[in-house]
Chain A
């Protein structure tokens, strides 16, 4: 009975199946296939490499610490973004004069290219010519500009800050959309029952926001996990791998080492990682759970 139903549905879901196969399944399979090929540094296929590319990848001594950085990067960026955006969305949901202008202003970092935004931060923090450093020197806090972007740990923290900055607009708008779909009566009922502002937010608003936050979180996880430009611009010239994620390591494998086959193996690992991260998130947080269920 069930099988018959599936078959009958084919004509209706067929086009989307074809689309998924063409733009998701085929590239993914091709990527896996590429990772098992022996490629020259200019991309000529020299035949099968078996698992040699993966062996080369796991021989990279820093891979373990790069994986740890990746987790710190994703968790920090997503969590800070969510907390700040939730507050910002709450504020933008209030009615105040000039609200439209403020809402538009929040969109600006999103409209600008990430490379551009990051480059502005990079120059602001430059030890010699950056205005942020200049300010710190002028008010007497520093004697000479500090290399915020010149040492692995500070630069990594700066990159997290920039990533949060560029992720906030989308997240804020998603949560704002969620807030606006909540009927005002619910909060009013809470007020009548004598709940404090925090209690109303925690027990009435937040559960209603679950779907919006779930969407924002998943998209932010994917975005920050795959983000290359921010780390590339800010930490790209720092030697060593102390501020690399798996994505920037892949870029270094292609650009600096000319090892596109090892990079292919890295991208397969990256693909598996993101699937695992999302699976854990879905399993633990259950974002699709019914609100009232």
Chain B
């Protein structure tokens, strides 16, 4: 009995040894995948298809490597649904940690000292080219750790056909005018809703912010998260009143943002708070839709809106790659490359040079003026993640009858 077993064991040992030997001389070994001139870049896909995000990055990387043949950029694309899980897995070990990461939140990485300050990964020209509000939003305790990739703000999209039918002369500036317009459009009947209010769990914090900011509210004060404030309550009450008036789409508490946008594109909703890519979606899906954009209505009519930026960040690891990373990021932020990337993705540029280049781009035209009045999530506050999760989960319940004051209290508690 013993001898055959012995043979098997010896065989296993030999195969293992062979596998180790092969793997140590090349495949996936450190020196090829992780040298000082290799940049591992992890990015999410903003758009799919032949002209999507992957094609854009592939093109940028090819152009970059033509000029810098000694530097290799390994691109890995993930969907937004899975990128957080991928990042979590990759950060477990230094050898798999990406050198450059494109994602929304950078604060927890920066807090743990894992990121290079921005001054070490791009040249001063690029830093000074970035719009100050966005640079500040990418900073923690006065040090900028991330580079805004591009911006997204919100602005009111309204269906001019429905406005004409309902006899509304100009887009609403205040909440009172908004409610009035929504009532008139809702009265047209035929399954048309006045205002699209997406409070489902996908993005409730976005819509909510537009309303609370519109009442002069804010989600933070210094390093405190402030959810339960009189201004925020006023904003949330206004949303509740709109839902109660029955001038929104049915069940606002369970409607995701994408559903509202789709319904607007099909001409079923009079007004929505839209994003830059909405313009491209309308062109692609229903080019005959007659619509226009206007500043988001607020309580008093003073314009303010929500600004969101995704970021590029570089992980320190062993600290030897700064030169390669700097070359690549400087190339990326050079006016032509960056402007092309932003306009193809349909967002708003955050560098002055690209904004000048894209002055006639439809997205920049519609959204450019909102940049100055954009207010941000306190995403550099470590407790914001919990508050944001709670807003997503709870805010829609105001449309199911829960008291707005109670909802805000609970969200405040969640952010303790």
List A residues at the B interface (Cβ < 8 Å).
40-44, 61, 127-128, 144, 147, 149-152, 155, 236-242, 252, 256-260
For B87, the chain A residues whose CB sits under 8 A away are 42
Closest to B400 in A: A240
For B385, the chain A residues whose CB sits under 8 A away are 41, 257-258
Q: Are B254 and A150 in contact (CB under 8 A)?
A: yes
A238–B112 Cα gap in the complex (Å)? 34
Closest to B385 in A: A258
For B253, the chain A residues whose CB sits under 8 A away are 150, 238-240
Stretch in B120-128, B214-222, B386-394 touching the partner: B386-394
Q: Top 5 nearest A-B pairs by Cβ distance?
A: A239-B396, A257-B389, A237-B200, A150-B251, A256-B389
Q: Are B256 and A237 in contact (CB under 8 A)?
A: yes
A144–B109 Cα gap in the complex (Å)? 49
**Which residue in A147, A257, A258 is a CB contact (below 8 Å) of B254?**
A147
A44–B339 Cα gap in the complex (Å)? 36
**Which residue in B92, B112, B250 is a CB contact (below 8 Å) of A127?**
B250
For A238, the chain B residues whose CB sits under 8 A away are 200-201, 253-254, 396
> What's the dominant secondary structure at chain B's contact region?
helix
Closest to B250 in A: A147
Q: Are B397 and A239 in contact (CB under 8 A)?
A: yes
Closest to A60 in B: B414
**Which residue in A128, A151, A152, A239 is a CB contact (below 8 Å) of B395?**
A239
Q: Are A237 and B109 in contact (CB under 8 A)?
A: no
A252–B87 Cα gap in the complex (Å)? 18
Interface residues of B in 362-416 (CB under 8 A from A): 385-386, 388-390, 392-397, 399-400, 402, 410, 414
Answer yes or no: B293 CB below 8 A from chain A CBs: no
Closest to B87 in A: A42
A242–B397 Cα gap in the complex (Å)? 10
Answer yes or no: B88 CB below 8 A from chain A CBs: yes
A238–B394 Cα gap in the complex (Å)? 9
**Which residue in A44, A151, A239, A242 is a CB contact (below 8 Å) of B112?**
A44
For A258, the chain B residues whose CB sits under 8 A away are 84, 385-386, 389
Answer yes or no: B199 CB below 8 A from chain A CBs: yes
Closest to A238 in B: B254
Q: Are A239 and B400 in contact (CB under 8 A)?
A: yes
A259–B388 Cα gap in the complex (Å)? 12
Q: Mark B164-198, 1 if CB is under 8 A from A, else 0.
A: 00000000000000000000000000010000000
A237–B88 Cα gap in the complex (Å)? 24
For B400, the chain A residues whose CB sits under 8 A away are 151-152, 239-240, 242
Q: Mark B56-90, 1 if CB is under 8 A from A, else 0.
A: 00000000000000000000000000001001110
Interface residues of B in 297-322 (CB under 8 A from A): none
The minimal Cβ–Cβ distance linking A250 to chain B, given in whole angstroms, is 13
